[in-house]
Amino acid sequence: MYYLTEEIEFPDVTLATEDGLLAVGGDLSTVRLIHAYENGIFPWYEESEPILWWSPDPRFVLFPEQLKISKSMKQVLKNCGFTVTVNKAFAEVIQQCSKINRDGQASTWITNPMIEGYMALHNLGYAKSVEVWEGESLVAGLYGIDLGNDVFCGESMFTKVSNASKVGFITFVQNSNYKLIDCQIFTNHLESLGAQDISRAEFMKYMK
pLDDT computed for residue 103 by the predictor? 53
Distance (Å, rounded) from C-alpha 83 to C-alpha 136?
Answer: 9
Regarding whether 191 and 111 lie in a shared domain, the answer is yes
pLDDT in tens, 64-109: 999 999 999 999 999 999 999 999 999 999 999 999 765 544 445 7
pLDDT in tens, 117-136: 999 999 999 999 999 999 99
Residue 141 contacts residue 130 (beta carbons within 8 Å): yes
Regarding whether 157 and 100 lie in a shared domain, the answer is yes
Burial class (CB in 10 A: 0-12, 13-18, 19+), 64: middle
pLDDT computed for residue 109 by the predictor? 79
Residues 134-143, mean pLDDT to the nearest whole number:
98
Output the domain CATH number for residue 21.
3.30.70.3550
The pTM score is 0.93
pLDDT computed for residue 108 by the predictor? 59
Regarding whether 202 and 174 lie in a shared domain, the answer is yes
pLDDT computed for residue 1 by the predictor? 79
What are the distances in angstroms from CA 202 to CA 37, 64, 152, 207? 15, 16, 15, 9
Distance (Å, rounded) from C-alpha 88 to C-alpha 17?
Answer: 38
Regarding whether 49 and 33 lie in a shared domain, the answer is yes
Print the domain residue range for 195: 59-207
pLDDT in tens, 151-196: 999 999 999 999 999 999 999 999 999 999 999 999 999 999 999 9
3-state secondary structure of 52: strand
Distance (Å, rounded) from C-alpha 190 to C-alpha 194?
Answer: 7
Regarding whether 188 and 112 lie in a shared domain, the answer is yes
